[in-house]
Structure 1
């Protein structure tokens, strides 16, 4: 079995110059947790995931270290500080980051395969040590996007093969 037999060819994408607000709309509209980022010639230049966008809105570290004893301080107490205005951070962060470019938040180290890639290599990518690989773009020899394979595509293909 090869990648071409597993891939979905109708791929929803975003562009590097799209903004975060555009990506949020796509995540709301389609049941995907990530999109390939393609340039004007449909070459894969990155991937943006829900996690990439959620990371924009995580609060900064709110830990306070208090030195104990006399200088040089060799010990500290750690307290978690939660300011009452922290609940407003999400709205402020959303406004602050809405027009940020996808190219600023996307992952650029993208694992890709070609249509002729053997299913074993696809399985190695999707089940490997990198838990962030949930989908693999399928590209032609020029790096242009021709499809995508998600984990559920592989599972579905094996299920269908067993039922046949």
Structure 2
């Protein structure tokens, strides 16, 4: 079995020029947790996931420094502050980040395979040590996307083979 036997060839992608607002709309339209990001020649240049977009709304610094004592404040206490989602002003964050290009948010260095890649190599990627690999773009010799393999595609293929 090879990657071509597992892949979905109707791949939904986003462009590296798309902004965050356009990608949010695409996540709302399709039941995917991530999209390959392609350039103008359909070459894979990254992946954007729901988690990448959620990260736009989480504070970078969750540490609150509280000085104790009189100046020159020789001691401080550190508290972790994690505001609940209800306390975040997502509307303001959305407006602030809506025009940001997806290339600023996406992950680069994407693991890809070719249509001729053996299923064992695909399994190694999807079940390997990197928990962030949930889908593997399938590319041709010029790194143009021709398909995608998600974990559920592999499970479905093995189920179907077992039942046949």
Same fold (TM over 0.5): yes
Instruction: Report SS of the residue matched to 1:56.
Output: helix
* Conserved? CA contact 2:67–2:73, under 8 Å: no
What corresponds to 1:103 in structure 2?
A: 103
Q: Distance in 1 between matches of 2:160 and 2:64?
A: 55
* Conserved? CA contact 1:59–1:89, under 8 Å: no
| Structure 2 gaps, min length 5 | none
**Aligned counterparts, 1:152-163, within 5 A:** 152-163=152-163
Q: Distance in 1 between matches of 2:148 and 2:80?
A: 43
What corresponds to 1:20 in structure 2?
A: 20
Cα distance change of structure 1 residues 39 and 66 upon mapping to structure 2, 3 Å threshold: same
1:67, distance to aligned residue in structure 2 (A): 4.6
1:31, distance to aligned residue in structure 2 (A): 0.6
| Structure 1 gaps, min length 5 | none
Q: How many residue pairs are counted as aligned between the two chains?
A: 161
RMSD across aligned C-alpha pairs, in angstroms? 2.1
Greater mean alpha carbon deviation, residues 86-95 or residues 27-36: 86-95
Question: TM-score, normalised on structure 2?
Answer: 0.90
1:90, distance to aligned residue in structure 2 (A): 1.8
What corresponds to 2:129 in structure 1?
A: 129
